[in-house]
Amino acid sequence: MATQMKVSRWSRFVASALLVVGGTLLASFGTAGASGARAKSSSVPLTVGVFSSFSGANASFGPESYDPCLAAAAIVNSDGGVLGHQLTCKAADSRGDPVDGVPEAHKLASTTSNLVGVIGPDGGTAPTVVPIFGAAHLPMFPTTGSSEFNRQTDKYFWRVLPPDVATATALAIAAHGAGITRVASVFGDAATNETNIVPFANAFKKLGGKIAISLVLPSGQPSYSTQAAQVLAAHPQAIVTEADPQTEATFMKDLQQLTHKLPLIYGTSGTQYAAWTSAVGLAIGAKLLASIHYTATPFSPFSGVAYKLFKSSLLKTHTSNPAQFETDIFAMAAFDTVNIMALAMIEAKSTNPVVYNPFIEKVTELNAKAVVVNTFAQGKAALATGKSIRYVGATGSVVFNKYHNSPGEFALVKYTTKGASGAVQVVKLISTAEISKLS
């Protein structure tokens, strides 16, 4: 009996030990499996997806994120990579349309080895694609400004640049601040432009301004002469606008043909990217455009260590025309995004998106004890010594609220024709408080 008891105890002990050891092993395998789900050995590269429009009317959106991704990955890799892994960027063409974007998103999420995060989706596909990346537990950094994400709750969603409603309000403040009281509101018919029209009108009217005429341009038409004549008949001091490059260029050319003096152009940040300035510049003349075009855009200092590194590494990428993105806020945001992901993975000591996702906020949040770092190398070095960090990159400070949106400051900027892609002059800063007051 005693022997039986002993055997029984031994059996239980052995069984318990086996359970504990097995459980521990399983747990460790589980952890290893999770953290290494996309990268089991250090030699395996990690992939950042760039999900955006590489074809169609907004074909320039893709390279605008992809080129900076390559630039950031090169810097990360030259500094030893992330936890021993090299970073790569993979382009996925959303075509700006859910019909093409949804299958492409599924393909990217399900067939890409070691995918650790996504830059995108853009405005055309975000409503349908955000849930796909969220369900795949992939941290995503959408480039959409759509208001429907202002209070979103997907924990994998991180919007680095402020929403359109803030842009539109900043535009109203900037125009009013420049003494403009009468504007023509002219926007393209893309769904993403809808989010600018009403917030701008509301904010501008609150400030005492008047919308002399409000027009929506159907995209891709051979002529907007009638709309141009209507705008001129309304005698605006400025045209407040955002439309796709081709539509805007045709409209501006038609406008130019009807008057000796074009009104000022106050555009959203959607009018500051290279394809827009290139198309409109070709249509009406780059010098003329530079003399009348102002843009309200999320503030970047366009100087400092982070910006200089962004610019120098961008120009080293072997892409068709990286210089066009030198002063592009969306390109800077994409560059910062890769650095934020890389630093979050190092702080989390894991490349598993599920594990490192909460650390995205940790490496950017306002924290008195954190060391402010401007580059991946600085951040990696600080983390290696056990310090907390706060990454402030090319786009300046990124502070996520509880909806994973970063409200941020704005600036009214003016482009000049100097340099390869034009230089930027910051005309006026617009604070978050000013915007909140009117929103």
Please, what is the minimum distance in Å from the beta carbon of residue 225 to another protein?
A: 4
Q: Which of 257, 312, 367, 425 binds another protein (CB under 8 A)?
A: 257
Residue numbers 83-142 binding another protein by CB under 8 A = none
One-letter amino acid for residue 28 of the chain: S
Angle in degrees, CA 80, 350, 20, rounded to 5: 135
Please, what is the minimum distance in Å from the beta carbon of residue 375 to another protein?
A: 31
Taking Cα atoms as reference points, which of 391, 427, 430, 428 lies closest to residue 407?
Answer: 430
Cis ω for the linkage preceding 121 (within 30 of 0): yes
For another protein, give the closer residue by CB, 219 or 439: 219
Assess 279 for contact with another protein (CB under 8 A): yes
Please, what is the minimum distance in Å from the beta carbon of residue 229 to another protein?
A: 5
Q: Which of 86, 256, 291, 397 binds another protein (CB under 8 A)?
A: 256
Assess 253 for contact with another protein (CB under 8 A): yes
Assess 249 for contact with another protein (CB under 8 A): yes
Say if CB 408 and CB 432 are below 8 A apart. Answer: yes
Angle in degrees, CA 329, 330, 334, rounded to 5: 115
Q: Residue 72, Cα to own-chain centre: how many angstroms?
A: 14
For another protein, give the closer residue by CB, 284 or 424: 284
Q: Which of 36, 45, 56, 131 binds another protein (CB under 8 A)?
A: 56
For another protein, give the closer residue by CB, 62 or 117: 62
How many residues make contact with another protein (CB under 8 A)? 42
Assess 331 for contact with another protein (CB under 8 A): no
Q: Which of 78, 153, 223, 303 binds another protein (CB under 8 A)?
A: 223
Q: Which of 128, 230, 319, 431 binds another protein (CB under 8 A)?
A: 230
Residues 6+ apart with CB under 8 A from 407: 162, 166, 399, 401, 432, 435, 436
Say if CB 313 and CB 288 are below 8 A apart. Answer: no
Spatial separation of the C-alpha atoms in residues 435 and 437, rounded to whole Å: 5
Assess 184 for contact with another protein (CB under 8 A): no
For another protein, give the closer residue by CB, 8 or 55: 55
Q: Residue 427, Cα to own-chain centre: how many angstroms?
A: 23
Spatial separation of the C-alpha atoms in residues 264 and 345, rounded to whole Å: 46
Q: Which of 74, 229, 292, 315 binds another protein (CB under 8 A)?
A: 229
One-letter amino acid for residue 14 of the chain: V
Distances (CA, A) of 420 to 42, 50, 59, 289, 424: 39, 25, 21, 16, 12
Provide the binding-site residues for another protein, judged by CB under 8 A. Answer: 55-57, 59-60, 189, 215-227, 229-230, 233, 245-246, 249-250, 252-253, 256-260, 275, 278-279, 282-285, 320-321
